[in-house]
Structure 1
Amino acid sequence: MNSQRFANIWDAIEDTPEEAENMKLRSILMTALKHHITHVKMSQAEAAKLLGVTQPRVSDLMHGKINVFGLDALVNMAAAAGLHIEIARA
């Protein structure tokens, strides 16, 4: 049996390194947004107003529905929340 190790789950399940990196970034942004909303004890309606989206979109975010969010949308939401995004060299 050939045992292959991956640094990240996305590397294991996505078809290309580019798709895996996109999913990693989306996951990181979704986690940061969810943490921010929870940490400041915002309701979904308050979060929706702050982020410029609907309450059902916030619900999708809080339930981890990663496939319904594009990277651009998550970056816009993070900026609206006042979160700072940095990219570091691997």
Structure 2
Amino acid sequence: MSNERFSSVWDAIEDTPAEAENMKLRSALIMALKERITREGLSQSQAAKLFGVTQPRISDLLRGKINLFGLDTLVNMAVAAGLHVELRVMEAA
């Protein structure tokens, strides 16, 4: 058993640093969308209409099915939900 430490769970479970970064971004967007649904008290149908997707897609989102969502889709949903998305790029540690 290794005592290796990771800065993120994604760094530990993904095969490459690129895949880990992608998952971190998708995870952050999904959490923001879920928070928006909760804060506004939206039903899945209401959220689907607001985000411009189907109700089953909202169900997938709320159930955390991260592999079913690409970055483009999540950014589009966030913008439709009235959220502003920013990306910060830094040198790798």
The TM-score by the shorter chain falls in which range? Answer: over 0.9
Cα distance in 1, alignment partners of residues 20 and 72 from structure 2? 16
Cα distance in 2, alignment partners of residues 2 and 63 from structure 1? 31
Tell me, which stretches of 5 or more residues in structure 2 are unaligned?
none
Letter matched to residue 33 of structure 2: L
Stretches (4+) displaced over 3 A: none
Cα distance in 2, alignment partners of residues 71 and 4 from structure 1? 29
Letter matched to residue 35 of structure 2: H
Provide, for residues 57-85 of structure 1, a one-character-per-residue CA deviation record: whole Å limited to 9, x for no partner: 00110111101111110000001001111
**Structure 1 residue matching 2:23: 3-state secondary structure:** helix
Q: 2:63 maps to which residue?
A: 63
Q: How many residues align?
A: 90
Map 1:66-81 onto structure 2 (within 5 A): 66-81=66-81
Tell me, which stretches of 5 or more residues in structure 1 are unaligned?
none
Percent identity of equivalent pairs: 67
User: Is 1:87 matched with 2:91?
Assistant: no
The TM-score with structure 2 as length reference comes to 0.91
The TM-score with structure 1 as length reference comes to 0.94
Cα distance in 1, alignment partners of residues 89 and 18 from structure 2? 15
